[in-house]
Chains A and B, each alone.
Chain A
Amino acid sequence: MVSRLLLLTLSTALATGALADEAPIKIGIPVGLSGANSVVAPSVVQSAELAVEEINAAGGVLGRKLELEIADDASGAAGAQKAFDALVFQKEVNAIITMETSAARNAGLPIISKGDIPFIYTSFYEGRSCNPNLFVNAWVPEQQVPPVVDHFMKSEKAKKFFLVGSDYAFGRGMLQFSRAYIEKAGGEVVGEEYLPMEGTDWTAIISKLKSSGAEALITSTAGGSPNVTLTKQLRGAGVTLPYGNLAVDEGTAKSMGADAAGIFISASYVTSIDSQANKDFLAAMGKKFAGELRTPNDLSVPQYEGVYLYKAAVEKAGSTDTKAVLAALAEVSFTGPRGPVTMNKQHHAPLTMYLGQVQEDGSVKIAGTFENVDPGEQCPGL
């Protein structure tokens, strides 16, 4: 009798154990489906869906399926708190992998620490966000700015730079770094001007630029409307200097039409990357989403690769145990559309950066490839 009871208990335990093993691994994606990020968020969700579909079709991770839990963070801090809280404590996701605004990321981090799960951040950002649970597979200023400045100084023989930005943390951070980098490289910054994010009138700044004797222009505005407004007014005023835009992505460049032609952009992903991995990725995206497809971009592709990096880390760790996965995340590597990515530099990743020039038809031609650009000292304490 006792042995039968024991057997029963044991088999129940085995059954639940087996069940637990087959339960899906949940990945939480808090993302700005509404608000400022809503333009890009659908593309991020799509690429995560493709990654999960591919991984599940190939047998999942440690025999378990992957499952996505998507929550709208309204692109801001308040929404992010709710979204993170719901994902971590109600949906009990195993990891968070997403791109977000810096405000949303900062609001979510304490919840990540409290729930103690891995967080892979897939958006480029101003840098130096450090948390034992946070890994970043996208670029920081140290990786984005040098290709533009180096190219202008070498190929365009520019020494005098003019910097224009939107007045917010990312805009100022990028230009602060640009100034330091230009001055270190022997160049000179002849002007640095900002307009509030909702500002629409760049007249005075453009007149200053034209009379400054600058030989090259670098801008870092908020994405979308301020960027388009500045570019239109620059072109209207006949500014034809070498123009590096740190805030424009391929999609926006396309919507700007002829005004965008000639602009230099620096990114870790452009659709024209000539690799088999990228071609396969684009083909798979096209096949899965067809007419619904949002053009893959520098925010959505790191999301795709983030899911694969997590898969690799779980497989290396042999479980979804947070401590083991975090240790593995710093070591595992994945070769995706952007090339090989390993988050082994203080939780950040050396990346191949592409300098692109926007063509008349809106496509982006790769003007230079910079391999293995180091993120620098991001989190010396980690």
Chain B
Amino acid sequence: MIVLLDIVTTAAILFVVASGLLAIFGVLKIINFAHGAWLTLGGYCAVVTTALGLNPWTALPLAFVAGALLGAITEMVIVRPLYRRPLDAILATWGLGIVIGQLITLWFGRDVQFTPNLLSGTVDLFGASYSIYRLFTIAAALIIGCAFAFLLEGTRLGLSTRAVIMNETLARALGIDVARVRLITFMIGTGLTGLAGVLLTPLTSVDPNMGVGWLIGAFMLVMVAGSSFAALAFACLIFGGAQVMVSTFVSPILGGITVAVLCALVLRVSPKGFSRG
């Protein structure tokens, strides 16, 4: 039973971490390799709210806003000229990630920072105690997933976005402001990633490299998921589940590379991954 909970919560955490990357990749076909830096940025928003003596939960909106604003600047200055050169965009965002990491180091130092837990304690489930916060991540993943589904399916912006995904030239011909859709999508993606950074703080140490470890896993999952949030959720469950199973029954060292290896295998067999598009 505990293994099942481990699987679902691990999948939820992976989903939260990867969703911002997926939002950007799905619409813009740009791989944001500065994703790890935005996670770190979110973590440091939690550090800042702690230093200001605010309620730890206020870090969530703060990280979303900070991530989105920085994302807006990045989109306008760095990413915008590179939509037709996705490989250059990888290099540019990778470099940006290094720059952000160094700026954070300059400002806050290399040391591990302290942030209070959002939720602490355990709850008894199926005869064993389980971390409340890990259970909460399931709710967080569901909220993010549902919010995206609503945004894409139920709003004008979502309609324009889907039009841009399907046929950008046609969308532009129909009078859709493609540049604006891109900007907003990028901001939502980076804002969400900042938010994910805050959600990670109770699980990892907050230091200038905190996001780096999550980048490759998130990247592989998004490659498999394509542009669909449902596919991402599915991929997180399958690969997160495999990671937990391998860690539990074989070796945690192999568990750490399970997601990357399985995603690579899936992409080898089916280049489109799990997406039908």
Asked whether B204 is an interface residue with its Cβ less than 8 Å from the other chain, the reply is: yes
The residue on A at minimum CB distance from B244 is A204
- Residue from B10, B133, B202, B203 having most chain A Cβ neighbours under 10 A: B203
Whether B256 contacts A196 by the Cβ 8 Å rule is yes
Encode A216-246 as 1/0 by CB contact (under 8 A) with B.
0000000011111100110111100000000
Contact among A211, A237, A255 with B131 in the assembled complex (CB-CB below 8 Å):
A237
Interface flags, B95-124, vs A, CB<8A=1, else 0 = 000000000000000111110110011100
B177-213 toward A: CB 8 Å interface, digit per residue (1/0)?
A: 0000000000000000000000000111101011011
Question: Which residues of A sit under 8 angstroms from B10, Cβ to Cβ?
Answer: 201, 203
| A207 CB within 8 Å of chain B | yes
Report A-chain residues with C-beta under 8 Å of the C-beta of B113: 255
Give Cα distance in the complex from A201 to B252, angstroms.
9
Are B252 and A228 closer than 8 Å at their CB atoms?
A: no
Q: State how many residues of chain A have any CB contact under 8 Å with chain B.
A: 37
A14 to chain B, nearest CB (A): 52
Residues 244-274 of A at the B interface (beta carbon under 8 Å): 252, 255-259
From A225, A235, A236, B210 is in contact (CB under 8 Å) with: A225
Asked if B2 contacts A211 (CB within 8 A), the reply is yes
Contacting pair B114 A200 (CB below 8 A): no
Check if B205 sits within 8 Å of A225, measured CB to CB: yes
**B residues 250-264 touching A (CB-CB < 8 Å):** 252-253, 255-256
Contact between A210 and B2, CB atoms less than 8 A apart? yes
Q: Is A9 an interface residue (CB 8 A)?
A: no
B253 cross-chain contacts in A, Cβ below 8 A: 167, 194-196, 199
A257 to B111 Cα, complex, angstroms: 14
Nearest-Cβ distance from residue B18 to partner chain A, whole angstroms: 14
Cα distance A256–B114 in the bound complex, in angstroms: 6
Contacts of A256 in B (CB 8 A): 112, 114
| Interface residue SS majority, chain A | helix
Query: A39 interface residue, CB < 8 Å from B?
Result: yes
User: Do B252 and A39 touch (CB < 8 A)?
Assistant: no
Give chain B residues whose Cβ lies under 8 Å from the Cβ of A257. Answer: 114, 116
A-contacting residues of B (Cβ < 8 Å)?
2-3, 6, 9-10, 110-114, 116-117, 120-122, 128-131, 133-134, 202-205, 207, 209-210, 212-214, 243-244, 247-248, 252-253, 255-256
State the CA gap A205–B247 with chains docked (Å): 7
Q: Take A200-B214, A224-B205 as given contacts and tell me if A237 and B112 are in contact as well, using a CB distance cutoff of 8 Å.
A: no
Bound form: Cα–Cα A198–B209 in Å: 10
Interface residue A208 (Cβ < 8 Å from any Cβ of B): yes
**CB proximity of A108 to chain B, nearest CB, Å:** 23
Contact present for B117 and A236 (CB under 8 Å):
yes
Residue from the set A193, A194, A232, A259 with the largest chain B CB neighbour count within 10 Å: A232
Contact indicator B116/A207 (Cβ below 8 Å): no
Determine the chain A residues whose CB is within 8 A of the CB of B210 once the complex forms: 225
Q: Would B134 and A236 count as touching, CB distance under 8 A?
A: yes
Measured CB to CB, the closest approach of chain B to A363, in angstroms, equals: 15
Asked if A38 CB lies within 8 Å of chain B CBs, one says yes
- List the 4 closest pairs (A to B, CB-CB), nearest first: A204-B247, A228-B205, A238-B122, A225-B205
Is A224 touching B112 in the complex (CB atoms < 8 A)?
Answer: yes
A196 to B254, CA, bound (A): 9
Residues of A within 8 A of B (CB): 38-39, 167, 193-196, 198-205, 207-208, 210-211, 224-229, 232-233, 235-238, 252, 255-259
Q: Which residues of A contact B203 (CB under 8 A)?
A: 200, 229, 232-233, 236
> Least Cβ distance of A350 to chain B in Å?
33
Q: How far is the CA of A198 from the CA of B204 in the complex (A)?
A: 11
Residue in B closest to A199 when the chains form the complex, CB atoms: B256
Whole-angstrom CA separation of A233 from B9 in the bound complex: 13
15 contacts between A and B (CB under 8 A): A193-B252, A195-B252, A199-B253, A201-B243, A204-B6, A207-B2, A211-B2, A224-B112, A225-B210, A227-B205, A229-B204, A237-B122, A237-B130, A238-B131, A255-B114
Residues of the A chain whose Cβ atoms lie less than 8 Å from the Cβ of B213:
198-200
- Minimum CB–CB distance from A97 to chain B (whole Å) comes to 24
Cβ-defined partner of A255 (8 Å) among B6, B9, B111, B248 = B111
CB pair A232 B6 closer than 8 Å: no
Query: A227 to B111, alpha carbons, bound, how many Å?
Result: 13
Give the residues in chain B near A207, CB-CB below 8 Å.
2-3, 6, 248
Find chain B residues with CB under 8 A from A252 CB.
112
Q: Is there contact, CB below 8 Å, between B214 and A236?
A: no
The answer to whether B256 and A201 touch across the interface, beta carbons within 8 angstroms, is: yes
| Closest Cβ–Cβ distance, residue B138 to chain A (whole Å) | 13
**Partner pick for B121 among A38, A194, A196, A238, CB 8 A cutoff:** A238
A105 to chain B minimum Cβ distance, whole angstroms, is 22
Known: A39-B111, A236-B131. A205 touches B252 (CB 8 A): yes
Q: How far is the CA of A83 from the CA of B111 in the complex (A)?
A: 24
Query: Do residues B2 and A232 form an inter-chain contact, with CB atoms below 8 A?
Result: no
Q: Which residues of A contact B209 (CB under 8 A)?
A: 225
A208 lies within 8 A of B131 (CB): no
* A195 close to B204 (CB less than 8 A): no
Residues of B within 8 A of A198 (CB): 212-213
A198–B3 Cα gap in the complex (Å)?
23
Which of B128, B130, B202, B256 is close to A232, meaning CB atoms less than 8 Å apart? Answer: B202
- Closest residue of chain B to A164 (Cβ to Cβ) is B252
Question: In the complex, what residues of B have CB within 8 A of residue A39's CB?
Answer: 110-111
Contacts of A195 in B (CB 8 A): 252-253, 256
Taking CB atoms, residues of chain B closer than 8 Å to A204 are 6, 244, 247-248, 252, 255
Q: Which residue of A lies closest to B250 (CB)?
A: A204
Q: How many Å from the CB of B111 to the closest CB on chain A? A: 6
Could you tell me the distance between the alpha carbons of A256 and B243 in the complex, rounded to whole angstroms? 28
- With A196-B253, A204-B248 already in contact, the answer to whether A236 and B128 are too (CB < 8 A) is no
**Pairwise interchain contact A236-B202, C-beta atoms closer than 8 A:** yes
A234 to chain B, nearest CB (A): 10
Q: Considering residues B110, B247, B248, B253, which has the most beta carbons from chain A within 10 angstroms of its beta carbon?
A: B247
Cα-based distance from A238 to B120 in the complex (angstroms):
9
Q: How distant is the Cα of A232 from the Cα of B202 in the complex, in angstroms?
A: 6
